[in-house]
Structures are given as structure tokens and as C-alpha cells.
A and B are shown apart, each in its own frame.
With several copies, the nearest count.
Chain A
Amino acid sequence: MSGGHEGEPGTLERAVEATLFAAEEPLTVDALAAHLGGIAPGEVRDALTALESHYLRRGVHLVERGGRWHFETASDLAHLLRREKEQVRRLSRAATEVLAIIAYHEPVSRAEIESIRGVQTSAGTLDVLLEAGWIRLAGRREVPGRPVIYATTPTFLDHFGLTSRRDLPGIDELRAAGLLDPVDDALENAMRFDPDDEGEEGDSA
């Protein structure tokens, strides 16, 4: 990498830039390294960091979503770029809630989703989210009945501009307040301890 101030981007930086521009989907550091002919991942990471800061002031940003990198337009330009045709999937309120519950609790079973919402979840709601590529089947919970459990996907992080699940709005506060713990755990904590207690130890997240 050519040192100094920004000025001339190094060869690898240019190669990473070109590759990510041309890629049809976000790429991991490893995928980039492999595509560039077996560069050390560390060097790719350095190039990404340099690019990220270079593009910070531009109309296009380099962002990391769930370990995968891609370019996207700067969010502050949204008002200029918004398209006439709505490209974004409109979600029903039910689907929105289910998505949030999965994202904040993952992995989570349908029964657990239903216990939070207090209503049955129609199969169609999960289908919509699966089809959008935002959630996936994440195996089965090893409890009687072995229910299927759901989790979010990298595409979900990508779509909502989240670097990782830790970026979910307010997730730290919700966890600290015990609001991501099952009601039974919270109840036990509330009955046993001072209500102000944060019920942290039952944390299963």
C-alpha cells in the first residue's frame, strides 16, 4: 500500500475497489482475498479500511454488513435518489413484528414468537420473510418436539443497513432491561429480586 496521505490509492486498494464495484453481491474479506488471487486477508482488510475512509465523504459509501462488504449510496442523499417505483417490499404489520422478534431473539421458534405476540402466526407471514431472504431456518431446538428455529440472514443486515446484529436499534437497552428474556425468567426474577434488578443472569441471548 502506498503510504502517505490519501492521494494515490495503492494497487491492492484499487483492485479491491474495482472488485467490489463490479460484484453483484456483497463480498467477505475471504472471498475478496480469494478473488484477488490469494492475497492475505489482513492486507485486504487494510485496503478495505483505507477505502472505507476514502469513501466516507463521497456520494457512495463502502459499508460492512454482516461481515460482507459492498458499496451503496450515501444515506443522506436518499431524498435525491428515491425512485418513483417503490422497490422496497411492503411488509404487513404482522410480518414486521415477526421479523423484529426474530432479529432481537434469534434463534427463536414459532411458539416463542407466538408467545410474545399473543396470537398465532400464520405460515404466510414466515413465508414472506423467508422469501425476502431476511430469515432462514436455523435448525431445530433440542427440546421435546424439536421445533424449527429461525434466525436472520446477512441479507437482512444488508437491507437494513446493519453492520451486525449488535447494531439493531436499542438492542443493548432491551437486553439490559431484560425485555429479551422470556416472561417466565423475568417473572422469576421479579418475584425473587427487587423489581429494579436487571435480571441479567437468566440471559439466554
Chain B
Amino acid sequence: MTADEAPLMFAPGDLARLDSDALYLELDGWEGPLDLLLDLARRQKVDLRQISILALVDQYLTYIERAGAMRLELAADYLVMAAWLAYLKSAMLLPKAEQEDPSPEELALRLQLRLQRLGAMREAAARLMARDRIGRDVFVRGAPEGLRTDRKTVWRSDIFAVIQAYGQVKSRTAPRIYHVANRPVMTLDSALERVSAMLGVTLEWMEIRDFLPPHASPELKRSALASSFVAALELAKRGRAELDQDGAFAPLRVRRLKEGAAQGPGA
């Protein structure tokens, strides 16, 4: 029992204080009814397992009665406990006959078990506080140098990575030359000329395929087809030709419009 615990341990003579004015001071030290009960139990100087709950209840009620007489603002907790203990007391005094479910014995036992547990913890706390404590009884190194860990990075790479990186830099930044292939094409102008000339020959429908140069390479043929189609559209727009197609992807046919019917914006 060190000085720390003094306020919570009661000397043998404490009982006398029950009747004195010190009552309120003690109430300050207690946190609640269980506290007070435990203290009263301790004063019986018996093992909590042997304690007479009835005697304890009597003491508590007496205590509260006196405290109440002297000072009214007794905490509600204390009064609730007093009421509950009064009930417990009467139940314990009544014949055992037909008691309600939690029997008074059980309630008393429960109270006793709780006091035992609180008592055990209070004692444990006192023993804990009385141990050799760092900063009071034992001391750690006053001025430790401290340990430091400096992290150092070791870089790793390899020659291939370096060479590869250089190759990538060079290839990324090298000036690039773009070649535009010179493909055989038929321009729109020449297609227009060609289609106009060929349309002048007849008034019959002609398939657009027939306008293409017969011996052209496949590439030139595709270009010619596109240009001839656009040329045909242009002529239609000018009112010099008409187009006809039975359906999607069906052969596209072109025919010259008669001169008189031409209402286009003029060539």
C-alpha cells in the first residue's frame, strides 16, 4: 500500500467516522452505491464470500437515512439502490413460499458476486500501482544516443538497358521522312472530259463501267470509277445527264439529256 492508495483504503478505525461529520467527505470519495456497499462490507472484516447481505443492506439503509437527514441532495443512484435494497430485504425476510422468478437469494448472491468482483479489482489496482514503476522506482537510460537507420539507395541497371534506351532516344527523335506514293489516278477533270465526250455519242443508257479505260490497271480502274461517278453526278447537276439505278449496288447507268430539256445553270 503506497501513498497512492491511501485514499481508498480504510483504516480499522474508520467505522467511527460513520457517525461523524466526515460523512460527506466520504461520499465525495465514493462514486456510487456499489462503492459504498463494498466499503461497508469491508468494515465487517469478513471475506466477501461470507458476508451477510442482510446485515449489509441494513447498514446501507441506515447510512442513507442518516446522510439524507443531514443532507438532502443525495445522488439519485444512492436512493435507487436504497429502494432496491429495501425491497430485497423485505423479500429475504418473507417466507420462501412462492417468490417471483429471481429469488431474493439469487438477487443477494448477484449482489455479493458483484461486490467480490469490484473488491478484487480494487485490490488488484492497488497492487498494480504499488509495483516498481518506471520514472518513480526504476529509470530507463536518461540520455540514450538513439538509433538511426539511414536509407541508402543502390541503383541498379545494365548495359543493355542503356544501349536500348539510347536506341529509343535516337529513333524517337530522328527526323522522319514521309514518302507519298505516286499512284496512277484519273483526275476529276479528265473523267469529266471523258464522260462528256462519251455521252455525246449516244442517247442510250450506258453503264458507268463502260466509261472506264479498258486496259487500265486495277488501281487506276478504281480511281477511274470513283472519278467517273463524280463526273456523272456533276453532269447530272448541270442538267446534261441523268442517272439510273435499280437498287443498291445495282449497275449504275448514265444517259445524255436532250439539249432542249436542259434547265441547268448552264455550262
Chain A interfacial positions (CB closer than 8 Å to B):
18-19, 21-25, 35, 70-75, 78, 80-91, 93-97, 99-101, 103-104, 115-119, 128, 131-132, 134, 158-162, 168-171, 174, 177, 179-183, 185-188, 190-191, 195
Which residue of B147, B154, B161 is within 8 Å of A19 (Cβ)?
B147
Do B140 and A22 touch across chains, with their CB atoms under 8 A apart?
yes
B140 touches A174 (CB 8 A): no
Q: Which residue of B lies closest to A21 (CB)?
A: B141
Majority secondary structure, B binding face: helix
The reply on B139 being an interface residue by CB < 8 A is yes
- Known contacts: A100-B121, A101-B169, A185-B172. The answer to whether A82 contacts B148 by CB under 8 A is yes
Which of B126-134, B181-189, B252-260 contacts the other chain?
A: B126-134
Closest 7 CB pairs of A and B: A118-B34, A179-B167, A100-B125, A22-B139, A100-B166, A119-B32, A87-B135
Contacts A75-B137, A117-B173 given: A93-B128 contact, CB under 8 Å?
A: no
B121 surroundings in chain A (CB, below 8 A): 97, 100-101, 104, 116-117
Known: A118-B33, A160-B159. A191 touches B114 (CB 8 A): no
Contact A91 B156 (CB under 8 A): yes
Q: From B48, which residue of chain A is reached at the shortest CB distance?
A: A179
Whether B138 pairs with A186 at a CB distance below 8 angstroms is: no
Q: Are A179 and B152 in contact (CB under 8 A)?
A: no
Question: Closest B-chain residue to A97, C-beta based?
Answer: B165
Using a CB-CB cutoff of 8 Å, which residues 160-200 of chain B contact chain A? 161-174, 176
Is B31 located at the chain interface by the 8 A CB criterion? Answer: yes
B136 A88 Cβ-Cβ under 8 A: yes
B residues with CB within 8 A of A: 4, 7-8, 29, 31-35, 49, 77, 106, 109-110, 113-114, 116-118, 120-129, 131-159, 161-174, 176
Q: Note all chain B residues with C-beta closer than 8 A to A89.
A: 153-156
- The distance from the CB of A7 to the nearest CB of chain B, in whole angstroms, is 24
Across the interface, A71 reaches (CB within 8 A) one of B109, B120, B124, B141, namely B141
Tell whether A87 pairs with B159 under 8 Å between CB atoms, given A82-B136, A97-B169, A159-B134. Answer: no
Neighbour of B161 across the interface among A22, A96, A171, CB < 8 A: A96
Contacts of A84 in B (CB 8 A): 149-152
Is there an interface contact between A72 and B131, defined as CB atoms closer than 8 Å?
no
In the assembled complex, the Cα of A185 lies from the Cα of B162 at a distance in Å of 17
Do residues B128 and A181 form an inter-chain contact, with CB atoms below 8 A? no
- Report whether A91 and B155 are in contact in the complex, using a CB–CB cutoff of 8 Å: yes
When C-beta atoms are compared, the residue in chain A nearest to B135 turns out to be A87
Q: Point out the residue from B109, B120, B132 that lies within 8 Å of A78, measured CB to CB.
A: B132
Shortest beta-carbon distance from B62 to chain A in Å: 20
* Cross-chain pairs A/B with CB under 8 angstroms, 20 sampled: A22-B139, A23-B143, A72-B138, A73-B138, A82-B148, A84-B151, A87-B152, A87-B153, A91-B4, A91-B157, A96-B125, A96-B129, A100-B124, A118-B114, A170-B127, A171-B124, A177-B120, A179-B117, A180-B174, A183-B171
- A169 lies within 8 A of B124 (CB): yes
Nearest B-chain residue to A83, judged by Cβ: B149
**Pick from B113, B124, B150, B168: contact of A82, CB under 8 Å:** B150
In the assembled complex, the Cα of A174 lies from the Cα of B176 at a distance in Å of 17
Is B162 a contact partner of A96 (Cβ separation < 8 A)?
yes
